Amino acid sequence: MRATAKLLLVTHADCALHETTLGHPERPARLGAAIAGAALPGMERLEVRADEERAQRALRRVHAPGLIERFEKACEHAPAIFDCGDNPISSGSFRSAMAAIHCALAAAQAGGDRRGLRAWLPVRPPGHHALHDRAMGFCFFNNAAVLAEELLANGVGPVAIVDFDVHHGNGTQAHFWERDDVFFLSLHRYPYYPGTGSGDEVGGGPGWGFTRNFPLAAGAGDEIWEAALATGLEEVLRAYVPAAWVVSAGFDAHRQDPLGGMDVSENGYGAFGRLLDEAAGENPVFAVLEGGYHLEALRGSVRAFLAGLTGVTAP
């Protein structure tokens, strides 16, 4: 275990205020499961304080002002559906999404210069499908993209984003498509929702070669996922050594997940953590919750992943 390894837990109670319809997989109970998975020796909880002006400024680096305003207004008239049929909202949904952004900004500020830091952000709603001007796929604001942009604004760059959710992070890819200061690496089921993420999607303009997709067939298990991640991380490091790593950590490729159709085990997620820890070295890693809808599988997968990422043995 690295002597300097630390686990910073960055979350906020308001992330539970986003209530969905009965039977919807993205439910408040996910937050408790994702937090419980972080109960490891040496874990430190960061106090998150809201800075509305800073949050609005950070959001506008990623999203159109119209989206932010539409979403806030829609929540005032909730319950409702926002932008697409799988995005039910409640009166607390905007507060939840803003709390996730406050967590992302607090993590970037606290951890950008801490050697060996590993930060876990169990937040909701998830974010990696959120587009510049439209919400989709359970996502309203792109938490991982906002975090990466905040790191860059603070002079911490280049950044790598690694997304291992079972669904392709189309919103994140679109935002950084023509950028060479962020390397976007994604492993995901394909073809599958949202339909993007083929192997020939590699970025455009100055960002050509800084997007790398590993489309995986339904039913793929630990060995295939681990090999793809190891190869992808090697490709990132051939491009440059990221000053920070942002992880869109979705756990819906777990074999028990009701949506994923994959065969990854908790041991597989532990291997993901070890591979990322080795690639990052002493540079900070910020892992942000995306999917994962079987509560017990989510708790166990988070614990295995964080144990691998920090080198701390789970009790």
* Strand locations in 10-126 (E): 43-45, 80-81, 88-89, 117-121
- CB of 59 within 8 A of CB of 105? no
Are the CB atoms for 89 and 75 separated by under 8 Å? Answer: yes
Give SS3 for 245: strand
Per the CB < 8 A criterion, the answer to whether 289 and 138 are in contact is no
Residue with tokens 């932010």: 68
Rounded to the nearest 10 degrees, the angle between the axes of helix 266-280 and helix 222-239 is 10
Beta strand spans in the chain (E) = 6-9, 43-45, 80-81, 88-89, 117-121, 159-163, 182-189, 211-216, 244-249, 285-289
Q: Which residues pair with 211 in a beta bridge?
A: 184
Q: What angle do CA 5, 127, 220 make, to 5 degrees?
A: 75
User: Rg of the Cα trace of the chain?
Assistant: 17
Residues serving a catalytic function are 129
Nearest Cα neighbor of 168 from 113, 129, 134 is 129
> What is the token pair recorded at 206?
């100055």
Helices 295-310, 266-280: crossing angle, 10 deg rounding: 30
Written as six digits, the tokens of 196 are: 């993007």
